Structure 1
Amino acid sequence: METWILIALIVGFLAWRLKPTKGVQSITTAQLKHVLNDKDKVFIDVRTPAEYKGRNIPQFKNIPLGSGFHQLPKDKEIVVICQSGMRSSQACKQLKKLGYERVTNVRGGMSAY
């Protein structure tokens, strides 16, 4: 009986962690290709510098997760990418907490690009 409670708690925790953040948009990599030259958007890649150097999209500026988000303009939409979508989702949550209104996560990240 106690095992079921533990399993339910773990499932609940995972569902809560994976739940999209309120107010964060999500786009596919196919949709991203259509907006890459939009001057009203700021594109950031939250992977490590080594990952970014290995393969990147030129429009994206490398700002590793947990650093330098305060320097981003608040009057533009922030589009965030990482390798798989997990770190960019975390970055989007951080940006929302910092008061950024328009935040978009790229689903699947560079793996899907």
Structure 2
Amino acid sequence: MFNFFNSVPSISTQELEAKLGSKPIIFDVRTQSEYQAGHIFQAKHLSSNQINQFNKKQMEPVYVICQSGMRSKQAVKKLRVQGVDAINIRGGMNQWTGSVKRGK
């Protein structure tokens, strides 16, 4: 009934930044306006509707970020149910200290 103890795989923003050279797949699940205000250069915008319809099997992990880590945690749960190796970014963009891209 309650999923208090179901942990979601996660990494810190610093760990993600260290992986950027290997060009990981990053999904940003914030609103379109939040995304356009500033996002990680390699991140692709993925709305909550797209998460529910996402059925592409990935051979490599996908990293999911939002503003604080809460929406991305929920998105990771949904993606993992669909068989995607999804990993949450703890702290989200609030903790991101790397460069950001503005706009689309």
> How does the TM-score come out when normalised to structure 2?
0.79
Picking from 32, 41, 49, the partner of 1:66 is: 49
Unaligned runs of 5+ residues in structure 2 are 97-104
1:45-95 CA deviation, whole Å, 9 max, x = no partner? 000110000011111000122315525442121100000000000000000
**Runs of 4+ that moved beyond 4 A:** none
Q: Which residue of 1 aligns with 2:81?
A: 97
The alignment covers a number of residue pairs equal to: 94
Q: Which residue of 1 aligns with 2:59?
A: 75
* 8 Å contact kept, 1:80–1:92: yes
Matched to 2:17, the amino acid is K
> How does the TM-score come out when normalised to structure 1?
0.73
The reply to whether residue 106 of structure 1 matches residue 101 of structure 2 is: no
Query: 1:73–1:43: structure 2 CA closer, same or farther, 3 Å change rule?
Result: farther
Identity of aligned residues (%): 38
1:24-58 CA deviation, whole Å, 9 max, x = no partner? 4211111111001324x311000011000001111
Between Structure 1 and Structure 2, which shows a larger proportion of helix residues?
1
CA RMSD in angstroms, aligned pairs only: 2.0
| Greater C-alpha Rg | 1
